[in-house]
């Protein structure tokens, strides 16, 4: 007899299994109001899910795009760091040989500050025009241009 008159609400909640006391069942009852019929809860859920999906896709694609962009930028940065800068030097030298078939001029050149000490060596010419009119034994002033060891003579002028 005590169980039927138990005033404790917690023990009543234990009877939630019955459909009359289920809060969801009560909600369904409210769904029968005409206004709620015009905008069924399912449609709102569909919209929310679709918007969420669209946002997720948008953010996902943006993330992938940004990831690729970041990778490309860092690769470019590494390349720019390792690639030697294009530099130009001017020095004096004496022509030892002109090899048009190789497009090379052999010069004994003075110290080229910041590049190499004085020596005799061959340089590639940017074009045959560079050594046109230049003969073995001529003292010349020449301009080198390039990056690292990859340099060419871009100009050569006979002195005196």
Comparing C-alpha atoms, which of 71, 70, 67 is closest to residue 59? 67
Residues 121, 107 contacting (CB under 8 angstroms): yes
Give the range of 44-52, 54-62, 121-129, 132-140 binding Cu ion by CB under 5 A.
Answer: 121-129
Q: How many residues bind Cu ion (CB under 5 A)?
A: 3
Does position 121 interact with Cu ion (CB under 5 A)? The reply is yes
- Give φ, ψ of 33 to 5 degrees: -65, 135
Considering beta carbons, is residue 77 or 119 the nearer one to Cu ion?
Answer: 119
Does position 110 interact with Cu ion (CB under 5 A)? The reply is no
Considering beta carbons, is residue 138 or 144 the nearer one to Cu ion?
Answer: 144
Q: State the distance between the two ends of the chain, measured CA to CA, in whole angstroms.
A: 130
Considering beta carbons, is residue 112 or 134 the nearer one to Cu ion?
Answer: 112
Separation CA 85–CA 94 (nearest Å):
27
Does position 152 interact with Cu ion (CB under 5 A)? The reply is no
Residues that bind Cu ion (CB under 5 A): 116, 119, 121
């Amino acid at each position: 007899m005590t169980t039927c008159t138990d005033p404790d609400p917690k023990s009543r909640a234990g009877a939630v299994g019955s459909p009359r006391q289920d809060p969801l069942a009560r909600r369904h009852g409210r769904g029968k109001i005409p206004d709620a019929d015009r905008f069924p809860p399912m449609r709102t859920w569909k919209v929310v899910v679709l918007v969420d999906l669209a946002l997720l896709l948008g953010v996902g694609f943006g993330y992938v795009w940004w990831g690729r962009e970041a990778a490309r930028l860092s690769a470019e940065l590494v390349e720019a760091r390792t690639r030697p800068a294009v530099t130009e030097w001017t020095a004096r030298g004496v022509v030892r040989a002109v090899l048009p078939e190789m497009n090379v001029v052999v010069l004994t050149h003075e110290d080229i500050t910041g590049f190499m000490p004085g020596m005799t060596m061959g340089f590639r010419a940017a074009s045959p025009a560079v050594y046109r009119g230049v003969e073995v034994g001529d003292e010349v002033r020449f301009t080198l241009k390039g990056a690292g060891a990859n340099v060419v003579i871009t100009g050569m002028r006979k002195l005196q």
